[in-house]
Amino acid sequence: MAKSPNDVVVTGIGLASSLGVGRAAHEAMLFSGTLPQPVIETEKFAPYPVHPLVAVDWSEQIPKRGDQRQMENWQRLGVFAAGLALDDAGFKDDAEACGTMDMIVAAGGGERDINVDSLIVDEALKRNDREELLNEKLTTELRPTLFLAQLSNLLAGNISIVHKVTGSSRTFMGEEGAGVSAVETAAARIRAGQSTHALVGGAFIAERLDIILMVEAIKGHQTGKWEPIWARDRSAGGGMIMGTVGAFLILESRAHAEARGAKIYAVIDRVEGDRGNRAEGRMEKRLTRMLDGSDISLVLSGTSGFHELAKREKSYLEERFPNAAIRGYGGMLGHSVEAQFTAGIALAAMALAAHKPVAPFDADHEKPMTKGADQALVTTIGHQRGEGIALLAANS
């Protein structure tokens, strides 16, 4: 593929998860040559396992204690990961570049007042007029400032405050699809010449009782011990194990990156999302349309682990790309909803830059690689709705 000044390239990666902070911890997972081991917390939220965040020194990226205190954990993690990406790209101390940098964030609805949630659930067991109960408690129990502290666009706001990223700002909500839309929008703007450099990503905290409750409400959680994502016990829950992840990328036009001598990890050739009814093979038809003409050797699947969806995705990918090595990275990091897509792109970019074989995450259901990949596909199949793909190529 011929080079273009408006090629979308990845020049910065900020990743924090249960495996550690920064590129080195995640490169160890990708290139160790041995079966990597996930980090799992099984007691705190038993019977629901989660991938917890490792200990983080927030002051490494958020130096002011006052800034740290006024954020919830999901905001701290997002600001921290954004700082890692800026550092990695060499933008952290470039005030002029940060001042003109676009920012696109994928965010959830913020953290909740667990005490009020618990009160409502307990009272609902005693009453039948639950709609009236809900209105009573929401008007009498919630502190007015809770909503101000939980606005989804506050992650972008805090990144602007801490890291001085003050170009245009957009925030997408909508679970996994938000992450797809964030990257898709940034890439489209760069490709069209409307933007030269952008900070894109999101953050998700799995270690929250409200998240556990919401996922269990749809019978989504895997219960008991951890198992590989392609082979989870159907008698032990829905198949999904959540993971705490902060994932941000610096995307630039090729011309902008080369002009400043930046290291280019990979080129994003295509990003696309879609959604609709999944019955009667419609999900597979949408994937076929999005992947038209593609031929790749490495797939990084962001499958949620939901039994039927994981089975359908794996079957489709094996038929569509029979020679490709498929890696379910959610089995190692957990499912991180809004951050899932950018985390997968980060891993793919590292794999292409290193040009090394990516170790299987599941020896029984993923075949080994004998050489590094020149192209990679990242998929995200939303646990409820929405699909997204990103096609990346090694820089040449």
Q: What is the mean pLDDT of each run of 10 residues along the chain (396 residues)?
A: 91 97 96 89 96 95 93 93 98 95 91 80 90 88 64 90 96 95 98 98 94 91 95 95 98 98 97 95 96 91 96 97 96 97 98 96 94 96 95 94
Domain boundaries, the chain: 8-112+150-394, 114-145
352-367 burial, b at 16+ Cβ within 10 Å, e below that, comes to bbbebbbbbbbeeebe
Q: What pLDDT shows up at residue 250?
A: 98
- The pLDDT assigned to 57 comes to 95
CATH class of the domain whose range is 8-112+150-394: alpha beta
Own/partner contacts of 33-41, CB < 8 Å, gap of 24 or more, are 33/357, 33/359, 34/359, 35/359, 35/360, 35/361, 35/363, 36/332, 36/359, 36/361, 38/226, 38/331, 38/332, 38/333, 38/334, 40/225, 40/226, 40/241, 41/207
Q: What separation, in Å, do the N-terminal and C-terminal C-alpha atoms of the chain show?
A: 10
* Contact present, 102 and 116 (Cβ < 8 Å): no
The pTM of the full predicted model, rounded to 2 decimals, is 0.94
pLDDT at res. 239: 96
Query: What pLDDT does residue 149 have?
Result: 57
State residue 295's pLDDT score.
Answer: 86
Q: What's residue 147's pLDDT?
A: 58
Which pLDDT belongs to residue 61?
Answer: 97
Tell the burial category of 193 from Cβ atoms under 10 Å away from its Cβ (0-12, 13-18, 19+): exposed
